[in-house]
A and B are shown apart, each in its own frame.
Chain A
Amino acid sequence: MWALRYDPEICRECPSPRCLLQCQYMEMGEEEARGEILKLSRGEDSRVLEKCMTCYGCEEYCPYGNHPYFLICEMREKRGIYTAPRPITNQWINMTQMQGRALIGKVGEVVLSSCLLPSLGTMASTGEIFSQISSSMVFGAEFMCPAVHTHFAKMSVVKERLPQVLDNFRKLGVKRVICLHDECYGTFTTLAKAYGIEVPFEPVYYMDFLLERLEELKPKITPLNITAVYQRPCSNRWIPEKQDVLRRILDLLGVRLLDRNHQGERSLCCGGILRLVGGYKLADEIQRRNIADMADTGADYCIFNCPACQETLGSKVAKAGLKPIHIIDLCKMALGEISQEEE
């Protein structure tokens, strides 16, 4: 079985326990934060094991890439701690099981992966951006990154399924996989590495692909001249270096991204997973704070990167007066493939 590449020495010698100090859901002072991460590094019980909301944030806050989040998940599973109710945990394990029903397009060296999210497949199957590769789409549990199970502290499921997923890609003989979901890209570049699992292809971040295509299609872009805020998904925490790509895309589209309190490292969960893990009261409160923060900017649009976030928050941000839109659809809008009214 794959083992987490975690070095307790790094935590012991860490000058600042940023990982827990920055947490958006657990309040603790510097001394307590240091004490709790040291407990975790020694494999001891910690209140973090009961209270962590699985936002992935500590993976980003740790400046050494020492994987505090995966450590918490491992320790929870070892102790039999369920983050969400047991039937919900098992529901997610069951619903993401491979059943030999994956949809595989005309695959060449490059493949477009829509994970197990049908809406990504729908968005990427039309329009000029993806026109050259949309026929190479794969969809299904066989190609789904199993990172969602970290929310349920089921690292055994992650470690069992990830090598199978990678093997399924390997069997296709692909060299590059364009990941339409941040979670897939983050899994292939961060989680796999944390466990020393070799990835037999080059993962491509879909926003890098979008940026490249938009550069090529630049003459066709009509600047949108709109303002927007951004809902950063949890899995983007595993690839913080990619945050700048979004800004560059928005510049090309003529979208002014407005600053808000809960952005970057201070981003808040959409509430989907939080509802399962933390309960409705916390999820409602976080959503209320998040949406109020968006609405305060007076932005026209709320841009989503993750379809699951959009499904959870979309109607709620719309009620607050912001138009919800996925970044892919925003690109299509600038290319004239979707009208602003239609969207």
Chain B
Amino acid sequence: MGDILGSLREIVGERWVSDRPEELWYYSRDPGVLEPHRPDYVVAPDSVEQVQKIVQLAVREKVPVVPMGNAMALTGLVIPLKGGIVVDMKRMNRILEVNERARYAVVEGGTSQGALKAYLQDHYPHLRHSLPDAPAATTIAANVALHGQGRLTQQYGFNSEMVCGLEVVLPTGEVCRIGSPSLGPYWFSRSHTLPDLSGLFLGWLGTTGIITKVGIRLYPNKKLRDLEIFVTDIPELVPEAIYRLTHLELLEDITAWFQPKPLMFKDNYHVTIYFTGDTEEELEFKRKMVWGCLQEFIDSKDGGFMGVDPLKPQLLEMPQRSVAEFADVPRGGGFEYSGPITLVEHFPKYAEKVVELARKYDLLYSGMARVISGGHAMMFAISFAFNRADRDMMERVKKAMDEATEFALQMGSIPWKPNFMEQRMILEKMDPVTRELIHRIRRLMDPHGIMNPGNWEVQ
């Protein structure tokens, strides 16, 4: 093995590489419950050329490379399971282009959600992107790479479906452009009408390359936003309510949720319905459509709309802070969730399972489902809060999470951003031909097996 540290210093400059234990400590973990694992080096490139050189170095030296956004996936996707070089993308945070009329932006691979939001607010206030309810420092590239969701997922699908072009450094060190930018200067399409090569990178969790640029679709940013919360005590009504709401084709975002605390939420299931408008009249029209489509449940007294005025400031935040607050209920700031993608009609079964797991492992729970693409699916987050200083509690959360993944797979769901153990469970259950195809693609793309090893590995 050559002088990797020296080579990295030559590539990015001394300031942007480290093998110091106190810095490696930070890069060895994420805020979830998985055990940390130390990398050998951490490096922060500033350009695609530097990323290329880092990958070429890793190929030469046969050391793993783990691309990292902000390490907030919670499922250890950037914990360097086999050591090697963590490539922290945060310096590559430039917003390269906004095409106002075609409504897309091109950003570098380390650009944060907050940076794009702020930039659009300042320069294009009538445009927005699908902001996830994650800390503002999380990155756009990481979010699309793991099929993240956001505020516009109900209308337009997973955030990864909003990708309209990619630039990727392949595991060979070559730079590859995907979609319309492979043919010309525009970033309006990731594939149409070409073979969709973006599928070689989205969902692969950094095992097939490092995303250095993302084209992301933008959408109209209406002047006004409002919400209503439908409440029922019958979980079976939730899928029906969502079906009726999505039929309207009017709504920004729909989430269904339940939690035992505070007491005002006890024993009920809530559907938060967001809608937008450029005028009060547009908002009122949508509000009336929302009320009207659920009137039958109100008449039967099985459901109704709760007063939301006191909660509005918090609920209209983007991103919302409620997750962070939930994480601190048992003190100690730990939070982990399993978020299978499943059918909306499965909501009652998932709701039952969350409560069962919370009772079994003595944990504080929260269940939340975000409707995807007008009701084609939902992401159901089975969430537990824990105290980081309490090892026993963390162990119980781990067990509950494993059980939740087993349940999700039994239900025919797809676990979202699975950790490496959950990936194994998925691969075991998967159709063997599909599994073999994944294996072949992986081997073809990354012949030296250096890209985020330990993830999506077929044994």
Contact = CB atoms under 8 A, between A and B. Distances in A.
B265 to A, nearest CB: 8
B262 A82 contact: no
Nearest to B268: A87
B298 A279 contact: yes
Interface in A284-300: none
Interface in B12-26: none
B304 A276 contact: yes
Contacts of A91: 231, 264-265, 268, 306
A117 B68 CA distance: 46
B26 to A, nearest CB: 38
B233 to A, nearest CB: 4
Contacts of A84: 301, 304
B2 interface: no
A225 interface: no
B264 A272 contact: no
B157 interface: no
A237 to B, nearest CB: 21
Given A91-B268, A280-B305, A311 B231 contact: no
A222 interface: no
Given A85-B231, A87-B232, A319-B280, A95 B264 contact: yes
Interface in B275-306: 280, 287-288, 291, 295, 297-298, 301-306
Interface string B352-386: 00000000000000000000000000000000000
B309 A85 contact: no
Contact of A311 (B266, B291, B309): B309
B279 to A, nearest CB: 12
B307 A87 contact: no
Interface in B221-247: 231-233
Given A94-B264, A272-B307, A312-B309, A86 B302 contact: yes
A95 B291 contact: no
B263 interface: yes
B267 interface: yes
A90 B309 contact: no
B310 interface: yes
Given A275-B307, A311-B310, A82 B231 contact: no
A88 B298 CA distance: 10
Contacts of B262: 95
B263 A88 contact: no
A126 interface: no
Interface string B291-333: 1000101100111111101100000000000000000000000
Given A275-B305, A319-B280, A88 B267 contact: no
B301 A86 contact: yes
Nearest to B266: A94
Nearest to A99: B263
B304 to A, nearest CB: 3
A91 B258 CA distance: 12
Of A97, A99, A279, most buried by chain B (CB within 10 Å of CB) is: A279
27 contacts: A84-B301, A85-B231, A85-B301, A85-B303, A86-B301, A87-B231, A87-B303, A87-B304, A88-B231, A90-B233, A91-B268, A91-B306, A94-B263, A94-B266, A94-B267, A95-B262, A275-B305, A275-B307, A276-B305, A276-B306, A279-B298, A280-B287, A280-B305, A281-B291, A311-B310, A312-B309, A319-B280
Given A99-B263, A276-B307, A319-B280, 7 more contacts: A84-B304, A87-B233, A88-B231, A88-B304, A88-B305, A279-B298, A280-B305
Interface of B: 231-233, 262-268, 280, 287-288, 291, 295, 297-298, 301-307, 309-310
Which 5 interchain pairs have the tightest Cβ spacing? A85-B304, A95-B264, A87-B233, A88-B304, A94-B263
